Amino acid sequence: MTIQEEIGRRRTFAIISHPDAGKTTLTEKLLLFGGQIQVAGAVKSNKIKKTATSDWMEIEKQRGISVTTSVMEFDYEGYKINILDTPGHRDFAEDTFRTLTAVDSVIIVVDSAKGVETQTRKLMAVCRMRNTPVIVFVNKMDREGRDPFELLDELESELQIAVRPLSWPIEQGARFKGVYNIYEQKLDLFTPNKQRVTEKIAVDINSEQLEESIGEEQAMSLRADLELVDGVYPEFDVNEYLDAKVAPVFFGSALNNFGVQELLNCFVKIAPAPRPVQAVERLVNPEDAKFTGFIFKITANIDPNHRSCVAFCKICSGKFVRNAPYRHIRLGKDIRFSSPTQFMAQRKSTIDEAYPGDIIGLPDTGNFKIGDTLTEGEMLHFKGLPSFSPEMFKYIENADPMKTKQLAKGIDQLMGEGVAQLFVNQHNGRKLIGTVGQLQFEVIQYRLENEYNAKCRWEPVSLYKACWIESDDPAELENFKRRKYQYMAKDIEGRDVFLADSNYVLQMAQNDFKNIRFHFTSEF
């Protein structure tokens, strides 16, 4: 297969949603169709002592939520699918934002009863910023929910994008009969089954067979709805979807495995193959002959038996070959990778080559930071992997003096993963952790104890915001740092950070020091 054909058959996408909309369940069902798993683990069921395939961290299994992005790949009808299942919880939004830089398209999962929720809006804003094409999957149709037309209106107004239904539900909740697949013009009847794939029945919408399948009343109602859909929404145009101007909408129930295959069949046909990526120096095309890629995520302890780190690399162009030397741009040295891996959540297998669009795992012994670029020698820098200014802060203290080394190593690796941000206070030398939400502190404490055998305790500190500062006037910068000595810190890169303890103090500092730039993301 030529490199062009390999690129053409790849589909790399993220599944995003508000917590509990059914994102991880949908991921599982896609894996079921890809033949990667034979039985799906019911995420919340205590009767089945299984958890979701993509939630492999111990804390994820205990809480039934995703706290880190999982990468999974499988083949489906000649296509190579790379799925990134992201955390929905707002406390882990930064992981999700970074993941969105590594995908070519997105599937948004929306709960049919709750509609568009806060986190979905935020994530959609990131997709809009990057012009990422999105498909919407309205989940949980087998439960009582809102009127489909009302949901479509809300999707348009809240996500600020035109929508076009490509399947339509017949009733919902206990009366849910199935969906009419507008894209393939077939009727799919619903039989609840969490483990296996539901049988499909092809029915002509205008024949009497429709009445026989779903009853006279529903048949009339379905025809009326479809007429309305065609009247209200323009014909589906693939190019408008690829330009991120319109979002196709599918209805179904991920838990009962319904409507998922329709989504997948349509997705592989219309979703974009790997697209060009903007680097600081130039636009990188997937067809470029030489290999380029960037690190968008680092995970420690995927295998608890070997305390190893894995750096996730998105391939942007050329062909990646095992054991070939690649230039690490930030370190300015060549590195060879003898065991690059591809993932099925926690299971991984060594690969010899990979192509644009693929996500590969590279063993990391401390060489990588998020945002690092690898090339065949060309000086390139990929941008767009920011850290955001944290909103919650706590001092981290060692709770077991015998485990100082383990704690230091644990903090280093977890901060390298981008789980939270570490600042060292210049005034007292204490380590300060900054996060977006409270849950991150619990995850850090849990992982330090369970993965590094180190105990920590938290000491609250009242701070409003951390912001990175820089200035073209060295004297003013020195003066500022002297005046605000108690509130100055260094981040993991050694950059100056001002820890403002209130909004008022921050505004006063901005007014008093006109030549200092205050940044609220780490990318400037």
Q: What percent of the chain has pLDDT over 70?
A: 83
Domain membership flag for residue 384: no
The larger pLDDT score, comparing residue 49 to residue 121, is at 121
Strand order across the 178-181 sheet:
167-170, 178-181, 186-189
> Are both 362 and 435 inside the same structural domain?
no
Residue 31 has pLDDT above 50, yes or no: yes
Q: How many whole angstroms separate alpha carbon 23 and alpha carbon 329? A: 36
Q: Which of residues 414 and 284 earns the better pLDDT score?
A: 284
Residues 103 and 184 in one domain: yes
- For the chain, what is the mean pLDDT? 81
Burial class of residue 494 in the structure, from the number of CB atoms within 10 Å of its CB (0-12 exposed, 13-18 middle, 19+ buried): exposed
Q: Which of 270, 294, 321 is the last residue of a domain?
A: 270
Instruction: Place 164 in a pLDDT band, splitting at 50, 70 and 90.
Output: very high
Tell whether the model's pLDDT for residue 20 goes beyond 80.
Answer: no
Task: Record the tokens describing residue 469, joined without a space.
Answer: 């500062």
pLDDT digits (tens, 9 = 90+) for 73-125: 888 888 988 888 666 445 455 666 777 888 899 999 998 888 888 778 877 88
- Identify the sign of the CA torsion 368, 371, 373, 379: negative
Residue 207 reports pLDDT greater than 80: no
For 77-82, which contacts have Cβ atoms below 8 Å and span 24 or more sequence positions? 77/268, 78/9, 79/9, 79/10, 79/11, 79/268, 80/6, 80/9, 80/10, 80/11, 80/357, 80/358, 81/11, 81/30, 81/34, 81/268, 82/10, 82/11, 82/12, 82/13, 82/357, 82/358, 82/359
Q: What is the pLDDT of residue 156?
A: 92
Mark whether 45 and 122 lie in a shared domain.
Answer: yes
Which of 315, 349, 375 represents a domain boundary (last residue)?
375
Question: Counting every residue, how long is the chain?
Answer: 524
* Domain assignment present for 381: no
Between 221 and 46, name the one with better pLDDT: 221
| Band of pLDDT at residue 65, cut at 50, 70 and 90 | very low
Is the pLDDT at 355 greater than 60? The verdict is yes
Residue 225 confidence class, pLDDT cut points 50, 70, 90: confident
Average pLDDT over residues 425-446: 85
Q: DSSP letter string over 251-286?
A: E-BTTTTBSHHHHHHHHHHHSPPP--EEBSSSEEPT
Statement to judge: residues 102 and 74 lie in one domain? yes
Domain assignment of residue 387, yes or no: no
Average pLDDT over residues 271-285: 90
Looking at the structure, do residues 332 and 248 belong to the same domain, yes or no? no
Same domain membership, residue 146 and residue 247: yes
Largest Cα–Cα distance of the chain, in whole Å? 84
Q: 167 burial class (0-12, 13-18, 19+ CB within 10 angstroms)?
A: buried
What are the C-alpha distances in Å from 213 to residues 40, 203, 472? Answer: 29, 8, 73
Whether 256 and 281 map to the same domain: the answer is: no
Report whether pLDDT(256) > 50: yes
Question: Do 417 and 302 form a contact (C-beta atoms < 8 A)?
Answer: no
Q: How far apart are CA 463 and CA 450, in angstroms?
A: 29
Instruction: Answer whether 128's CB lies under 8 Å from 25's CB.
Output: no
Same-domain status, 82 and 222: yes
Domain that holds residue 468: 392-519
Which residue, of 319, 344, 375, is where some domain finishes? 375
Is position 512 within any domain? yes
Which two tokens mark 138?
Answer: 């309205």
What is the pLDDT, as a whole number, of residue 142? 83
Can you tell me the distance from the alpha carbon of 499 to that of 482, in angstroms, rounded to the nearest whole number?
14
Per residue in 281-330, pLDDT (tens digit) is: 899 999 999 999 998 887 765 555 555 678 889 999 999 999 999 999 98
- Span 404-412, mean pLDDT? 90
Work out the percent of the chain whose per-residue pLDDT is above 90: 30
Burial code of 243-264, b = ≥16 C-beta within 10 A, e = fewer? ebebbbbbbbbbbbbbbbbbbb
Task: Using only the alpha carbons of the chain, give its radius of gyration.
Answer: 25
Report the alpha-carbon distance of residue 388 to residue 370 in Å, rounded: 13
Banded pLDDT at 202 (limits 50, 70, 90)? low
Segment 68-85, tens digit of pLDDT: 456 778 888 889 888 886
Distance CA 292, CA 464 (A): 39
Q: Name the strand (E) or helix (H) holding 287.
A: none
CATH number assigned to the domain comprising residue 487: 3.30.70.3280
Q: Return the structure tokens found at 424.
A: 């060292």
For 167-199, the pLDDT digits (tens) are: 888 888 887 778 888 887 777 777 665 555 555
Say yes or no: 407 and 493 in one domain. Answer: yes
Rounded Cα gap, residues 17 and 34, in angstroms: 22
pLDDT at residue number 36: 56
CATH of the domain at 313: 3.40.50.300
- What is the number of structural domains in the chain? 3
